[in-house]
Amino acid sequence: MAQDPRPSGALTIGPPSSGRGLQALAGVTALALLATLYLVFVHAPQERTMGIVQKIFYMHVPSAIAAYVGFFIAAGASVVYLVRGNRAADVIARAGAETGVLFCLVVLMSGPLWARKAWGAFWTGEPRLMLTLVLLLTFLAYLVVRQLGGDTELTRRICAALAILGVVDIPLVRYSVARWRGHHPQVITGDGGGLAPEMQVALLAGFISIALLFTLLFAVRVRLGNQEVLREQLERELSIRHHRIEALRERSPSA
Amino acid sequence: MNQHPTRTIASVSAAGVVTLVSTTALADAEPVLDREAYELAASQEGFVAARREDMEQVNGGALMLIAYALFWVMVVTWVALLARRAALISNQLVDVRRQLTDLDDRLDELERSAP
């Protein structure tokens, strides 16, 4: 008798994300990224004081927002996991943390390259830089614990707590420039001087393409997480069947 | 003990004078490669802090290109890692499902043959 090997009552986690939907999203994201490159390098003018290096801004700022969104998703889903023990929430939290780390790495890679030109040094003791580094290290710790701790209830709970603690750093990053008199530019936040209209278009395109890229990578990671949970459930089913076979053999040794 | 101090002093003095004269002559003979810089340095009477535009010029274009290149490298690497993990888990799922189907068949046989 051919049975559906899918365990009963399983797999109701995560957002529905078909392969075709992800492919379409990947196509749109690729087009958006190419359009953004055109707008950044051709359409947007050079900044008067900083020159061409200012164009890092169109990738740096949207990546920072994407990192924050990823970490907030991780923290929010972690709260749900701690309260309800919902495995789907844990999958979403891990996907948010991983995707957030990618974009935080982009921020901490592109920022120093801009700073080398603007400040004359790759890294300074600037409050926003240090707090962003702390944010990255916290979520790197999250990923390391997830990796080394194995997929146990205890590991998931420790990591949920780490995500909630880590996200507290984000408001500090946001307000650090005003609060501790940092030198980090506040062009679109605070009392910055704003952007030229062509620059606004390029920045908007940057936000859209990075948002699409974030959504794509996050959805792929959630799908992967769902498959990992499914594999665990199937392995449990496998173990149950092995025990049933052993029990049947003990009852009728001739079989 | 030096038995001829006067001769020693005279020899050392003579050597010093020859060295002094020859280095001065060489220095005078050395051509000034950058006359403008030489005269600027010669006329300088004090040290003044440099203006921003006079400082080291960093190639902003190269830094920007490095930033965008690293961004793409990181994204492509990330996607490749996700794809590898997806392929691995997909293979594992196929394997586990096949094992489950086999076990179900064996279970059916055992249950039919059980008294």
Q: Which residue has the higher pLDDT, B18 or B62?
A: B62
Q: Which residues of B touch A223 (CB under 8 A)?
A: 86
Interchain pair B78, A242: CB under 8 A: no
Cα separation, A123 vs A115, whole angstroms: 7
| Overall domain count for chain B | 1
pTM above 0.80, yes or no: no
Domain locations along chain A: 25-42+51-184+195-251
Interchain pair B86, A110: CB under 8 A: no
Interchain pair B63, A231: CB under 8 A: no
Q: Which two tokens stand for residue A68?
A: 């924050």
Interchain pair B89, A241: CB under 8 A: no
Stretch among A14-18, A89-93, A159-163 having the lowest mean pLDDT = A14-18
Interchain pair B71, A109: CB under 8 A: yes
Q: How far is B105 from chain A (nearest CA, A)?
A: 6
Interchain pair A109, B74: CB under 8 A: yes
Q: What is the DSSP string of A73-138?
A: HHHHHHHHHHHH--HHHHHHHHHHHHHHHHHHHHHHHHHHHHHHHHTSSS----HHHHHHHHHHHH
B 6-65: CB under 8 A from A: 55-56, 58, 60-61, 63-64
Helix/strand/coil for A186: coil
pLDDT value of residue B59: 85
Q: Which residues of B touch A29 (CB under 8 A)?
A: none
Q: Quote ipTM for the complex.
A: 0.84
Interchain pair B75, A245: CB under 8 A: no
Q: Which residue has the higher pLDDT, B82 or A12?
A: B82
What amino acid occupies position B28? D
Is the predicted pLDDT of residue A11 greater than 60, yes or no? no
> pLDDT above 70 covers what percent of chain A?
87
Cα separation, A97 vs A94, whole angstroms: 5
Residue B74 is nearest to which of A2, A102, A228, comparing CB atoms? Answer: A102
Instruction: Return the residue of B nearest to A1 by Cα.
Output: B105
Interchain pair B101, A5: CB under 8 A: yes
**Enclosing domain of residue B30:** 5-113
Instruction: Return the residue of B nearest to A105 by Cα.
Output: B74
B104 touches chain A (CB under 8 A): yes
pLDDT value of residue B53: 59
